Amino acid sequence: MEDIQTQGRSMTKENSNHIKEMFNKISPRYVLMNKLMTFGQDRYWRKELIRLSGLKDGNSLLDVATGTGDVIIEAVNEGIKLGKSAGLDFSIPGMLKVARSKLKTVEWIEGDALKLPFKNNNFDIVTSAYLMRNVGDVNEAFTEQYRVLKPGGRTACLDTTPPVKTIMLPFINFYLTKIIPLLGAVISGNKSAYTYLPESTKTFKTAEELKEIMISMGFTKVSFKKYMFGTIAVHWGNKPLEYSLKTTADPTDE
């Protein structure tokens, strides 16, 4: 797993398959582990993701790396009446099986965040939670989200961000490197997965760096908000009404 973090986050097929297998293995306890290791704050962050995305009644929503579908399900629980929406994840059957069991009115799709199987200008809102930390090419992931967004649409992503040097840093590092793997071993039976996840937090891009990437991909009005002692961030940005794509290729035309 170290190759993903140290070599420009380039991800070989073998590494990609390894992550896919890892998430499949932890899917039965994924929701429970998220609640435990975030002290129940994971739901609040999803609510913030939805709020900052600007999602409204009638909007079409694409949730990338949807996992067990919690972002979309939270939006529905908030009373938002979604237009035609989809949740996409590559770790089928584990994660998407859980999502389908929770909500049947959304299209749950196996797919690649770096090659979204949708037409250009297709969704009002695109969200993701914990995608960018695990994807092989952050720039390409944002490029694809930009492509499928309608002009004037917005992308919003929730992810971890490296903790900054404060008086809390030793305690945060202890929790990330010792407590979370121990919880993972006890609750999910998979210590290695919950060793990788905290380590990927510490080596991921800063919130400021991720903001600059979004701007370079063409998003406007880009901003972010931090949570949990600066270890979690929600970023958002708009696709301009007048825009240009680096490529106008539409994968659904192939």
What is the average pLDDT across 44-68? 96
The pLDDT, as a whole number, for residue 204 is: 85
pLDDT given at position 229: 85
HSE value, Cβ hemisphere, 13 Å, CA-based, for 212: 5
Q: Give percent above pLDDT 90 in the chain.
A: 51
Q: What are the structural domain ranges in the chain?
A: 2-160+205-240
111 DSSP 8-state letter? -
Confidence of residue 114 (pLDDT cuts 50, 70, 90): very high
- Topology of domain 2-160+205-240 in CATH is Rossmann fold (3.40.50)
> Is pLDDT at 2 greater than 90 in this prediction?
no
Torsion of CA 208, 213, 218, 219, to 10 degrees: -40
Higher pLDDT, 184 or 87: 87
- Split at pLDDT 50, 70, 90, the class of 24 is low
The CA-atom distances, in angstroms, between 93 and each of 53, 57, 68, 104, 244 are: 28, 30, 11, 16, 36
Q: How confident is the model at residue 209 (pLDDT cuts 50, 70, 90)?
A: very high
3-state secondary structure of 85: coil
Chain center to CA of 100: 18
Cα(192)–Cα(45) distance, integer angstroms? 25
pLDDT tens for each residue of 166-183: 777 777 777 777 777 777
Mean pLDDT of 200-212: 87
| Stronger pLDDT, 157 or 164, i.e. the higher one | 157
Model confidence pTM above 0.95: no
Residue 162: the pLDDT is 86
Whether omega for the bond prior to residue 93 falls within 30 degrees of 0, making it cis, is yes
pLDDT of residue 244: 72
**Predicted confidence (pLDDT) at residue 133 exceeds the cutoff of 70:** yes
Residue range 99-109: mean pLDDT, rounded: 91
Residues 6+ apart with CB under 8 A from 34: 42
pLDDT of residue 55: 98
